Structure 1
Amino acid sequence: MAKIALDLEQALARRARDGAAGATEPRAIASGRGWTVSDVLCTCGPGDRAFEERHGAFCIALVVAGAFEYRSETGQVLMTPGAALLGNAGECFECGHRHRAGDRCIAFRYEPEYFERLFADTGSARIPSFGAVRIEPSRALASFVAAASTGVSAAANGSAVAWDEMALALASRVLRDLDGGSSRHLTPIGRTALGRVVDTLRWIDEAPERDLGIDRLAEHTGLSPYHFLRTFERATGVTPHQYVLRSRLRAAAQRLADAPEKIVDVALDCGFADLSNFNRAFRAEFGVNPRTYRLRWRA
């Protein structure tokens, strides 16, 4: 399990051991003129009451571990690793964990003045606000999720991370995606079906290197492959195969940055059949080969 997810599991274990109530613990990582970055670890679970909060600034939160339900004035969706949560300044929202305890996000927040200038710079004709609640996991977001996850570990070790560039590039990417109509609003699915999807996400994330074909995943949920595929894609915005592949790639990216293992060992341990297949998938997802990715982070 990648360190970013292991930290969450350890926090949940401490909560269970101490019998404490769930809590959301934001930790400031970096800030600049008009923007901030926080590592937000939440240990709330099904027994904790959801409560309404308000976005004090425009927010793009990258989900790096866990899953939760997010509801705002714009809509309601399930948030999963690799997705981006969107929030408008002054907008009320609610996060819930009816089916699964814990999540971890890396939240980029932008002051309204900063965001208005960014809207103008991108040539957007819309008013400065998000018209969606989520950007689904995608190749466009994958590099940001991996970079932010690795950046959290690097910052903890005292390494310099270009958070200012990342904050600007992420906001620009999201605005382009929204203007291009790549984000879809998905209507909520039933509570029982949603619970099965969330359970499947946890099962995948615990060991993404396993053989996780559609039949095995469907059997795990107790649904037919047809209904499982429709329910999963409707809830998460991606297919089960895409989710498994990206879960494996996120784990591989973290290990490449953190450990001195051979690349072929990382590939095989993370569920790829051979090195060439891993190299192709990694380059397609992150834009560089595994060796170059490792060298960049070590530099």
Structure 2
Amino acid sequence: MAEGPTPSRADPAAARPRVELLAELPDITVTRHVCHAGPRDRPFPEQHRQASLAFVLAGSFCYRCRDRTHALVAGSVLLGEVDEAFVCSHEHGVGDVCLSLALSESLLAAAASAHAAPGRLFAAPALAPRPRISALARALAAATDSRDRTRAPEIEALALALTAEVLGELSLQTGSPRSPRPGASASDRERAVAGARFIAERATEPLLLRDVAGHVGLSPFHFLRLFRAVFGVTPHQYLVRTRVERAAARLCESEVPVTELAFEVGFGDLSNFVRTFHRLVGLSPGRWRQRHHIRKIRQV
């Protein structure tokens, strides 16, 4: 296949990353940015079109923003506000891969409010690697790589957890206090219970956090924090546990094949169901069913 002329190293187009859309939800867009620029490529000024977080998965580059240059490596986080100017360069090597989150203004405003971010939305334009943030970013990358639309709730939960983790880390670094977490009020408990009931009633559906939060009249971030304060788990964890509990019951009372059962209770992927079931129950679905039937025979 014939190729076009090789772009000049002085041409900004030669240094622009390839952008791949991985997931597009109502308030969240996840993309992968693969850049092949190196020391020979001339840096050029850019501007953030949306407020976004970018997690460096591989490679390294320099990010100049707010009159400072930050060296970013795998595990680092790049933060950009709407219309903020920046320049990226690759003085130390060729190429990088980033996972980028673009969140809606309403979602980011709720996140900033929940974490008491003063002044700017992001108190700093970059963060050094943090193990928990890196682990969440890798988990999100794996979830979006599957291209499985039924994993939208998991993708949303990971994206929100990542955003909350980054904002929390920023508040610690800048000395700004996190929002106080008083004991749950009667109103909080009522909303949390209403959310839990909503999840239980629709556990077989591909629920998004925004759907449940909207049902109780809260923003996703505020509902996430409230739900966790009341129940000790996130809404997504509660959803997954509800599905697993129902699967365990069905395995005990029916001969439905495991593959069919996985989809019946709301999992869109068999391997994910088996892995999650084993993690929460301690046995594979087949082993769980086998042990149950053995126990029933012994009781006869």
Aligned length: 173
Alignment-derived partner of residue 171 in structure 1: 163
Q: Residue 50 of structure 1: SS of its match in structure 2?
A: coil
AA aligned to 1:50 is: P
CA contact (8 A) 2:39 2:94 kept: yes
Alignment-derived partner of residue 141 in structure 2: 149
The 3 A distance-change label for structure 1 pair 111 and 42 is same
Pairing 1:295–2:275 present:
yes
CA contact (8 A) 1:74 1:131 kept: no
**Aligned residue runs from structure 1 range 131-210, under 5 A:** 131-155=123-147, 160=151, 162-181=154-173
Task: State the identity %.
Answer: 25
Alignment-derived partner of residue 105 in structure 2: 112
Which of 27, 31, 37 is the aligned partner of 1:38?
A: 31
Rounded to whole Å, the distance in 1 between the matches of 2:134 and 2:117 is 27
Rounded to whole Å, the distance in 2 between the matches of 1:53 and 1:67 is 18
The offset of 1:128, in angstroms, is 4.6
Which of 60, 78, 100 is the aligned partner of 2:93?
A: 100
Q: TM-score, normalised by structure 2?
A: 0.51
CA contact (8 A) 2:123 2:174 kept: no
Q: Residue 151 of structure 2: SS of its match in structure 1?
A: coil
Alignment-derived partner of residue 127 in structure 1: 119
- Which structure would you say has the larger Rg? 2
Alignment-derived partner of residue 22 in structure 2: 29
Rounded to whole Å, the distance in 1 between the matches of 2:80 and 2:131 is 21
The offset of 1:296, in angstroms, is 4.5
The offset of 1:125, in angstroms, is 5.0
Rounded to whole Å, the distance in 1 between the matches of 2:45 and 2:75 is 24
The offset of 1:78, in angstroms, is 0.6
Alignment-derived partner of residue 261 in structure 1: none
Structure 1, 46-55 or 113-122: larger mean CA deviation: 113-122
Pairing 1:58–2:38 present:
no
**Aligned residue runs from structure 1 range 141-290, under 5 A:** 141-155=133-147, 160=151, 162-181=154-173
Q: Residue 30 of structure 2: SS of its match in structure 1?
A: strand
CA contact (8 A) 2:22 2:145 kept: no
Alignment-derived partner of residue 79 in structure 1: 72
Alignment-derived partner of residue 259 in structure 2: none
The 3 A distance-change label for structure 1 pair 125 and 103 is closer
The offset of 1:133, in angstroms, is 1.9
The 3 A distance-change label for structure 1 pair 154 and 22 is same
Q: Which sections of structure 2, spanning at least 5 residues, go unmatched?
A: 8-13, 176-271, 280-300
